């Protein structure tokens, strides 16, 4: 106990160092556990969506189904329960028959309601609490249930028929697994097995993997702070360790005490980090929910639930991270020779010796990244390339900086400049971890910033091509659609029907579109590659277009064939289709009608002079009683698309900014801790005629020079990172490849931000140095530490 | 060269200020050497630090080469140290990031008085040839102290202050190093104030003063 209090007395005497250690670890844990909280919330939402009515585990009968056919099957002893599914007013409507619904398909809150007869009466619908205010449900009695995904309405099939305006229809029949089937599946129907995996979870995997990667990067930067603070605290306490050993504390006992102390600190920081992480997640979740909803149609609630598993995981990560960060120090304590003299610079020299080994390891990691790039495949290979690239660069940084500083020193004319460069080089071991953190943070900012900016530039141009028509219409039914066409004919330059049907491609849900032959498409459609006379061939039904993600995922090239109802067709063009993760095929309108004769023409794109758009939209709404969503102008769609886009990257931008902040904190932690160790090196220079103020200014300049060099080195690394994100990770995650565009103005801003972070981090230690009393300086000469 | 007039200095402690020097006066002419002896805590190092313009007295005045230190600000004191004073510390206090050659010439170059011939002569006289490209942590204690002496003399300052310059060396090495220092100081014509515990070393200087509890005995 006495030995432990001797160890802990260090922190009492260095409260700022303790605060920085705890803050670094807490921030790292917060960012990590915040991201995990967001992921856990989203995955729980997907699981909820997938498990509604047992879709993830119950067999279904599908085919041409009506109420009469259902009654016939029930009479023949089939244990089936009807489901009507569709979309209305932007909501997913699920109609069920509570009395025949298998127990395995039950939803929380449903049995009690069914028993009460509320659902049966056809007046009550179950919705998620966030969906209670939906306009489309006005006039209905709504009951809230957390078991229903947001944006979904669960109602009796009779009420669902009314809401969807599909009387007498049935989408599928759920089979009760507890009862045997009376015979083979009738030939007009098809047995549909539960989906082997949840489509939403699969689609959004890459998004969550991206978030996890950034969370881990932030955690790694935080662990750099911890490593730096713990390492220097070990060094400062080396004499105390030796004294304790010489007084009879065993090596094992001493290492155990240090371990106990570290775990206690990690526990405190971990708990604080989890609380902070909850706040980060709660702040970011609405944006993430909007992104997932906009990009993937994933129903994720904007509110956060407290989940014990990510709290425990956060504290576990804090403990594990601390142990990793302190492993080297603990090993040194274990092996500490009692009689060796205490030298503060021993740590620095050991680090300098390790520099070459680190550089070799860094080159090795780059080699591994190259191998993963050349030989690997899939998203994990992409992340392996990223990890190898970033970690390798971080390990190489001290050697590269040492080389640059040596070069600068060789060019120095005055002795002060010579000393400045030599001394800066000597500070590298103590600062290298913080500088590595800065390198990673700036590179991540450059890389992700370049990716987002490339995406934005390409996306905006692509939207202009893709949304060439001035107005987009959706009719409520075929009769209105016909009436609208007749009315529009003399009023617009062109009416371009858009027909769509859902279709699976390679096991993935996708869609087939039919487009009319028109100059709008011929002149604007964003084709990445095309056969000669591509539009003539599409018009004549001699070929089809596929989107880039379908071409990449299924390995389709021009001339390859795609199997569709009504026969195979060759691919004659590939087009970019950003923002959509699903496969998509485009046919000529005639070919589409031949293959999908039952699909009604409800949507149109209209060509007309831009100054007439507003008036025509108002006339259409007034004449046909259309809602806001039924008549959308080009600007509105573009605005919405860009909004989805901005939200998608809002989270990434927030994490990036936090990572840069954490890196700044790492620098502050290192500089403050080094400040005490530096006095013996600075005092002789002061004694020989430099003022404390000038020394402080030089110290600040040193920090800025190191930060500037690191930020400049981070630029090519960031561009390499951007390339990997655009050319490898995005292609694997989303199926599209974007051209890389560079924005040097953004780099300048980032370098200035890094310098500002370094200035803030270096200001306090410099101020302290400027205010160091002569008495404190003189203690260096009286009693060398 | 150096006039110390009735100086007082105390250090603050939890129990209140503790006086270290109480009314000390002395004078040192150019070319003269003076040994300052006394028990531990008698105020020797404090007096040397005040004379070196590293700290200010609470009371009394110090004049160096005709310049009263009391009238100088921080920058003025720094300039004075750079141009007029050479200091040799017990712990050597070389700059670890610079080579022997750079350490030797450091203060002289800082003051703009670097004389390559004189530095080369010092290097030879101090037996440091062949060590110029080494770093301080690659030298023995005696070698490090010889570099420190060379550094103090390289700018040909008017006043050399030495705080236990041989305190960290064994007796034979200490005697040799002191001999070198005295010879070179005499060669430059500088005044020397040396703090030492050793009566034997003190006897090798022109004059000797003894401090006891902050006063000259």
> What is the CATH classification number for the domain harbouring B93?
3.40.50.300
What local confidence, expressed as pLDDT, does residue A292 receive?
A: 67
- Note down the domain range covering B152: 2-216
* Number of other CB atoms surrounding residue A398 within 10 Å: 24
In chain B, residues with a C-beta closer than 8 Å to the C-beta of A418 are 98, 102
Alpha-carbon distance A784 to nearest alpha carbon in chain B (angstroms) = 7
- Quote the ipTM score: 0.90
Residue of B nearest to A773 (CA): B55
Say if the Cβ atoms of B74 and A685 lie within 8 Å: no
In chain B, residues with a C-beta closer than 8 Å to the C-beta of A698 are none
Q: Does B106 touch chain A (CB under 8 A)?
A: yes
What local confidence, expressed as pLDDT, does residue A226 receive?
A: 76
The tens digit of pLDDT for each residue in B20-31 reads 999 999 999 988
User: Cα(first)–Cα(last) distance of chain B, in Å?
Assistant: 23
The tens digit of pLDDT for each residue in A423-444 reads 998 888 878 878 888 898 889 8
Say if the Cβ atoms of B11 and A775 lie within 8 Å: yes
Q: What's the domain count of chain B?
A: 1
Of A90-99, B46-55, B105-114, which range is least confident? A90-99
For an interface test with A, which of B21, B52, B78 has the most A Cβ atoms less than 10 Å from its Cβ?
B78
Query: Are the beta carbons of A257 and A463 closer than 8 angstroms?
Result: no
The tens digit of pLDDT for each residue in A107-155 reads 655 555 555 566 666 667 777 777 777 766 777 777 777 777 777 788 8
- Boundaries of every domain in chain A: 1-46+206-342, 57-194, 353-460+640-785, 471-608
Query: Are the beta carbons of A13 and A259 closer than 8 angstroms?
Result: no
Please count the residues of chain A.
785
Cα-only R_g, chain B: 17
- Residue A616's nearest CA partner among A603, A639, A640, A632 is A632
pLDDT band at A566 (very low <50, low <70, confident <90, very high): confident
Answer yes or no: is pLDDT of A783 > 60: no
In this structure, the strands spanning A508-515 and A494-505 are antiparallel
Answer yes or no: is pLDDT of A16 > 90: no
Q: Does B117 touch chain A (CB under 8 A)?
A: no
The tens digit of pLDDT for each residue in B92-136 reads 889 888 899 999 999 999 999 999 999 999 898 888 999 999 988
> How far from B129 is each of A76, A278, B155, CA to CA, in Å?
110, 66, 19
Answer yes or no: is pLDDT of A344 > 60: no
Alpha-carbon distance A687 to nearest alpha carbon in chain B (angstroms) = 7
Share of chain A above pLDDT 90, in %: 18
What local confidence, expressed as pLDDT, does residue B181 receive?
A: 82
Answer yes or no: is pLDDT of A318 > 90: no
Q: How far apart are CA A249 and CA A246, in angstroms?
A: 7
Of A228-242, A579-593, A672-686, A703-717, which range is least confident? A228-242
The residues on A that touch B, with CB distances below 8 Å, are: 345, 349, 414-416, 418-419, 422-423, 425-426, 680-681, 683-694, 774-775, 777-778, 780-782, 784
What local confidence, expressed as pLDDT, does residue A785 receive?
A: 30
What is the average pLDDT across A186-197?
Answer: 66
Q: What is the mean pLDDT of chain A?
A: 81
Phi–psi pair at A342, nearest 5 degrees: -80, 120
What DSSP designation does A195 have? P
- Residue position matching structure tokens 């069920």: A96
Which tokens in the block code for residue A290? 């909007």
Say if the Cβ atoms of B45 and A782 lie within 8 Å: yes
In chain A, residues with a C-beta closer than 8 Å to the C-beta of B163 are 781
pLDDT band at A302 (very low <50, low <70, confident <90, very high): low
Of A211-225, A603-617, B84-98, which range is least confident? A211-225
Answer yes or no: is pLDDT of A243 > 50: yes
What is the average pLDDT across A470-486?
Answer: 86
pLDDT band at B64 (very low <50, low <70, confident <90, very high): very high
What local confidence, expressed as pLDDT, does residue A702 receive?
A: 93
What is the average pLDDT across A401-415?
Answer: 92
**Which stretches of A582-633 are DSSP H helices?**
589-595, 613-624
């Amino acid at each position: 106990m006495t030995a432990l209090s001797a160890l802990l007395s260090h922190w009492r005497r260095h409260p700022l160092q303790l605060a920085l250690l705890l803050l670094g670890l807490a921030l790292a844990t917060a960012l990590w556990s915040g991201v995990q909280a967001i992921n856990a919330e989203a995955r729980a939402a997907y699981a909820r969506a997938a498990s509604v009515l047992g879709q993830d585990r119950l067999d279904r009968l599908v085919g041409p189904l009506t109420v009469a056919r259902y009654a016939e099957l029930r009479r023949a002893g089939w244990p089936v329960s009807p489901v009507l599914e569709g979309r209305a007013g932007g909501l997913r409507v699920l109609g069920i028959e509570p009395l025949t619904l298998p127990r395995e398909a039950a939803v929380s809150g449903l049995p009690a309601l069914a028993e009460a007869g509320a659902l049966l009466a056809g007046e009550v619908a179950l919705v998620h609490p966030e969906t209670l205010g939906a306009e489309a449900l006005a006039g209905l009695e709504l009951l809230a249930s957390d078991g229903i995904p947001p944006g979904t309405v669960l109602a009796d099939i009779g009420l669902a028929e009314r809401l969807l305006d599909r009387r007498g229809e049935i989408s599928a029949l759920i089979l009760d697994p507890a009862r045997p089937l009376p015979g083979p599946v009738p030939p007009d129907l098809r047995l549909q097995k539960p989906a082997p995996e949840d489509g939403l979870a699969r689609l959004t995997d890459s998004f969550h993997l991206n978030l996890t990667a950034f969370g881990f990067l932030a955690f790694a930067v935080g662990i750099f702070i911890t490593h730096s603070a713990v390492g220097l605290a070990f060094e400062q306490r080396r004499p105390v360790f030796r004294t304790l050993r010489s007084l009879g504390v065993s090596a094992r006992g001493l290492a155990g005490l240090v371990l106990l102390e570290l775990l206690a600190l990690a526990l405190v920081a971990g708990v604080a980090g989890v609380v902070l992480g909850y706040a980060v997640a709660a702040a970011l979740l609405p944006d993430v929910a909007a992104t997932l909803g906009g990009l993937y149609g994933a129903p994720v609630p904007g509110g956060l639930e407290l989940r014990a598993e990510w709290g425990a995981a956060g504290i576990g990560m804090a403990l594990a991270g601390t142990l990793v960060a302190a492993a080297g120090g603990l090993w040194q304590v274990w092996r500490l020779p009692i009689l060796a003299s205490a030298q503060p610079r021993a740590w620095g020299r050991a680090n300098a010796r390790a520099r070459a080994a680190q550089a070799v390891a860094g080159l090795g990691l780059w080699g591994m990244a190259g191998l993963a790039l050349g030989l690997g495949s899939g998203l994990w290979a992409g992340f392996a390339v990223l990890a190898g690239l970033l970690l390798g660069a971080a390990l190489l940084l001290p050697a590269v900086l040492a080389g640059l500083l040596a070069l600068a020193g060789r060019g120095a004319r005055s002795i002060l400049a010579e000393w400045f460069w030599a001394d800066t080089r000597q500070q590298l071991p103590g600062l290298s971890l913080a500088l590595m953190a800065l390198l990673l943070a700036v590179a991540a900012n450059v890389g992700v910033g370049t990716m987002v900016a490339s995406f934005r530039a390409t996306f905006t141009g692509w939207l202009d091509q893709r949304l060439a028509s001035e107005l987009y219409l959706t009719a409520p039914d075929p009769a209105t659609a016909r009436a609208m066409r007749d009315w529009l004919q003399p009023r617009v330059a062109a009416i371009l029907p858009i027909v769509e049907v859902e279709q699976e491609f390679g096991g993935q849900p996708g869609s087939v579109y039919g487009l009319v032959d028109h100059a709008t498409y011929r002149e604007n459609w964003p084709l990445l590659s095309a056969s000669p006379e591509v539009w003539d061939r599409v018009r004549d039904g001699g070929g089809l277009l596929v989107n880039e993600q379908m071409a990449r995922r299924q390995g389709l090239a021009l001339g390859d064939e795609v199997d569709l109802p009504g026969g195979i067709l060759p691919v004659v063009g590939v087009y970019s289709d950003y923002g959509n993760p699903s496969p998509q095929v485009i046919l000529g309108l005639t070919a589409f009608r031949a293959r999908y004769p039952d699909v009604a023409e409800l949507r149109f794109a209209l060509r007309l002079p831009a100054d007439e758009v507003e008036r025509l939209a108002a006339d259409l709404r007034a004449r046909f009683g259309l809602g806001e969503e039924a008549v959308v102008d080009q600007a509105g769609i573009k605005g919405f698309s860009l909004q989805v886009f901005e939200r998608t990257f809002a989270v990434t931008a927030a994490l990036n900014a936090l990572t840069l902040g954490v890196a700044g904190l790492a620098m502050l932690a290192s500089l403050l801790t080094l400040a005490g160790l530096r006095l013996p090196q600075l005092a002789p220079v002061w004694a020989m005629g430099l003022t404390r103020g000038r020394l402080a200014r030089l110290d600040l300049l040193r920090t800025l020079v190191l930060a500037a060099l690191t930020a400049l080195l981070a630029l090519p690394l960031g561009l390499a990172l951007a390339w990997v994100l655009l050319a490898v990770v995005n292609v694997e995650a989303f199926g599209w490849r974007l051209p890389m565009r560079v924005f040097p103005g953004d780099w300048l801003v980032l370098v200035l931000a890094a310098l500002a972070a370094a200035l803030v981090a270096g200001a306090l230690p410099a101020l302290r140095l400027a205010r160091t009393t002569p008495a404190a300086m003189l203690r260096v000469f009286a009693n060398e530490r | 060269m150096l006039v110390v007039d009735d100086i007082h200095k105390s250090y603050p402690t939890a129990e209140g200020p503790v006086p270290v020097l109480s009314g000390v006066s002395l004078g040192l002419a150019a070319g003269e050497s003076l040994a300052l002896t006394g028990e531990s805590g008698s105020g020797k190092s404090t007096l040397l630090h005040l004379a070196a313009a590293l700290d200010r007295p609470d009371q009394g005045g110090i004049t160096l080469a005709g310049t009263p230190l009391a009238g100088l600000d921080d920058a003025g004191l720094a300039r004075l140290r750079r141009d007029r004073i050479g200091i040799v510390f017990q712990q050597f206090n070389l700059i670890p990031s610079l080579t022997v050659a750079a350490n030797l010439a450091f203060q002289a170059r800082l003051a703009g008085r670097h004389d390559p011939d004189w530095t080369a002569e010092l290097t030879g006289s101090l037996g440091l040839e062949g060590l110029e490209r080494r770093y301080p942590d690659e030298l023995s204690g005696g070698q490090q102290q010889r570099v420190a002496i060379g550094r103090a003399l390289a700018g040909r300052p008017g006043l050399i202050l030495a705080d236990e310059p041989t305190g960290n060396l064994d007796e034979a090495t200490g005697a040799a190093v002191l001999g070198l220092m005295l010879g070179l100081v005499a060669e430059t014509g500088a005044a020397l104030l040396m703090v030492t515990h050793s009566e034997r070393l003190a006897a090798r200087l022109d004059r000797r003063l003894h401090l006891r509890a902050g006063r000259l005995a």
